């Protein structure tokens, strides 16, 4: 049990009428990360034993998923009549919606397969905003440099250039679809957009809709997808396996219809995986801000068919997850709260880190305070204070105008943010790496594209606030257009089936990886979902 300063004692140490001085740090940022960030722990990585990334580091819990055996075999596909489409999009979040709309704009017929329902994704949880270099004091080069530096220069420069370069056009596209971004204070309609600064950036570049930007954007995109008659949406239909042809190209996917408890075969000219991240695997035991379906499905499916991965040992732990009450642990408190001035305070009343340092640095600093006994303990929970009263005393209007989600979350926590601080602790938030892609989302497997959190190379080893929303639209749109172009090119697919699964099983056997896990896992362990049991239950009256 980590020792901590009792809540009552910590509250007595909290200075109410002054901005606390930032405590000097004896460690460099690199030393702090190496000592306290979860990615650097002794049990943070293992070497993959099979597949195109054999020998590369991966988080142990994720390795069990990507090295897993398939859930199905050829016998499961017997007598299933396939449906066909130009482009199959697997995933119903922001990246999937953007890909579908882009493919449609290029003339393709599209099927979207959502594990839950279209819109049920991490996108709706993105509160802080979207980055785009649209200000007079900003530039595409600065956005590029900030992103490369924030990701420890591990990102693919070509992908980062696409990210920053497409930013202004993505914002125009979203506004054209109907997204309502906040305007600068006192500005008339059509005037300048309000911009905020994010941690690790050198310019105010965040555009937002209050503090529930993702929800606003997903509302607009979901309507656009559902109104397009060229898009067929299959809700509650997770992908169980990809389909391949005799040449190893991706040629569709096998879906599982949760309502009717049957498999569906979808043949496609191109497939786009937009399945999100891995937060619900609860890596290293952390609570997560991720939605229920974030179980690394896309990584498992892409890796099994032969796609290369990258940086799958790197994850982002958002600094300010809810620490108390325990039943809300991991719920996200947006970086927007810190970007407008809220301070992080330990149990001694000290401000111990620049709140707008990169997220991995702030996370490591919080974990250090708790590990060294300067955290705040309350009812078995440990964290530090997010001093909202110090902020709202001077600017009470923020709670109703910009921090609406904070107001609702604080109420659920039983806290009046104008009176008492919230107790926060890092929450597993984002998968920094993923499937390796090119500038149009294409993977190393012909016919397979990836967009959004399932893809790697865009953020390096740490992501900046606001770049996730931009990422899903930049590469979602590009993948949609590229997939539509490929789907329009006649290909002699030959025999389509699960040939790659047979090859994978032979490789597992040769490597001695037998009797292990099955993947994709589809839902977190506490969901108590098992595919065969679910199918069998469907046959009972």
What residues are annotated to the active site? 359
Return the CA Rg of the chain.
Answer: 23
Q: What is the DSSP secondary structure assignment for residue 20, as one 8-state letter?
A: P
φ, ψ (nearest 5 deg) of residue 38 = -55, -30
**79 burial via Cβ count (<10 Å: 0-12, 13-18, 19+):** exposed
N-term to C-term CA, the chain: 49
- Give the closest residue to 352 by CA, choosing from 362, 341, 339, 340: 362
> What is the sign, positive or negative, of the torsion defined by CA atoms of 505, 509, 511, 513?
positive
Rounded distance between C-alpha atoms, residue 252 and residue 240, angstroms: 11
φ, ψ (nearest 5 deg) of residue 345 = -130, 135
Rounded distance between C-alpha atoms, residue 179 and residue 213, angstroms: 9
Rounded distance between C-alpha atoms, residue 532 and residue 230, angstroms: 33
Distances (CA, A) of 183 to 179, 220, 334: 12, 18, 19
The residue count of the chain comes to 541
Mapped onto helix, strand or coil, the DSSP state of residue 103 is helix
Rounded distance between C-alpha atoms, residue 256 and residue 240, angstroms: 6
Q: Please report where in the chains the tokens 């702030």 appear, as a residue.
A: 362
Q: What is the DSSP secondary structure assignment for residue 212, as one 8-state letter?
A: -
Rounded distance between C-alpha atoms, residue 364 and residue 341, angstroms: 20
Q: What is the DSSP secondary structure assignment for residue 521, as one 8-state letter?
A: -
Mapped onto helix, strand or coil, the DSSP state of residue 450 is strand
Strand order in the sheet with 434-436: 309-310, 434-436, 455-456
Secondary structure E strands in 7-63: 46-47, 57-58
Beta carbons within 10 angstroms of residue 227's beta carbon: 8
| Strand partners of residue 239 | 255
φ, ψ (nearest 5 deg) of residue 493 = -60, -30
């Amino acid at each position: 049990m980590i020792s901590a300063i009792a809540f009552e004692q910590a509250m007595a140490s909290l200075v109410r009428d002054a901005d606390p001085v930032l405590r000097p740090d004896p460690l460099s940022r690199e030393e702090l990360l190496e000592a306290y960030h979860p990615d650097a722990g002794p049990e943070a990585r293992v070497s993959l034993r099979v597949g195109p990334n054999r020998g590369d580091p991966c988080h142990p819990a994720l390795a069990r998923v990507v090295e897993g055996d398939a859930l199905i075999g050829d016998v499961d596909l017997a007598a299933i009549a396939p449906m066909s489409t130009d482009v199959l999009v697997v995933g119903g979040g922001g990246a999937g919606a953007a890909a579908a709309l882009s493919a449609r704009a290029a003339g393709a017929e599209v099927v979207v397969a959502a594990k839950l329902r279209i819109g049920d994704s991490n996108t709706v949880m993105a509160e802080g905003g979207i980055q785009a270099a649209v200000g007079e004091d900003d530039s595409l080069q600065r956005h590029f440099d900030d992103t490369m530096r924030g990701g420890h220069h591990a990102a693919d420069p070509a992908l980062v250039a696409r990210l920053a370069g497409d930013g202004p056009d993505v914002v125009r596209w979203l506004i054209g679809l109907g997204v309502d971004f906040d305007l600068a204070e006192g500005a008339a309609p059509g005037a300048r957009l309000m911009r905020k600064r994010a941690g690790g950036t050198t310019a105010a570049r965040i555009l937002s809709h209050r503090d529930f930007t993702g929800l606003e954007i997903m509302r607009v995109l979901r309507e656009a997808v559902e109104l397009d008659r060229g898009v067929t949406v299959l809700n509650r239909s997770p992908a169980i396996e990809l389909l391949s042809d005799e040449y190893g190209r991706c040629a569709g996917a096998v879906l599982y219809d949760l309502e009717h408890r049957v498999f569906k075969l979808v043949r496609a000219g191109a497939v786009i995986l937009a399945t999100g991240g891995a937060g619900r695997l609860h890596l290293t035991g952390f609570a997560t801000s991720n939605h229920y379906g974030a179980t690394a499905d896309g990584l498992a499916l892409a890796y099994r068919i032969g796609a290369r991965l990258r940086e799958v040992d790197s994850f982002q732990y958002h600094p300010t997850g809810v620490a108390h009450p325990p039943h809300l642990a991991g719920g996200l408190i947006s970086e927007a709260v810190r970007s407008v001035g809220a301070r992080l305070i330990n149990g001694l009343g000290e401000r111990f880190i620049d709140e707008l340092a990169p997220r991995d640095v702030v996370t490591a600093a919080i974990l250090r305070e708790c590990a060294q006994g300067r955290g705040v303990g309350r009812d078995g929970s440990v964290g530090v204070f997010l001093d909202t009263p110090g902020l709202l005393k001077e600017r009470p209007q923020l709670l109703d105008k910009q921090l609406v989600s904070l107001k609702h979350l604080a109420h659920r926590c039983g806290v009046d943010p104008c009176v008492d601080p919230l107790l926060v602790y890092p929450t597993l938030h984002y998968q920094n790496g993923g499937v390796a892609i090119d500038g149009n989302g294409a993977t190393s497997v012909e016919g397979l594209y990836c967009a959004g959190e399932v893809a790697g190379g865009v953020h390096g080893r740490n992501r900046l606030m606001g770049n996730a929303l931009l990422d899903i639209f930049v590469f979602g749109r590009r993948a949609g257009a590229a997939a539509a172009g490929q789907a329009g090119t006649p290909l002699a697919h030959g025999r389509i089936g699960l040939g790659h699964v047979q090859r994978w099983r032979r490789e597992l056997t040769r490597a001695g990886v037998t009797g292990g896990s099955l993947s994709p896992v589809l839902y977190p362990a506490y969901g108590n979902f098992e595919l065969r049991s679910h199918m069998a239950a469907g046959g009972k009256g």
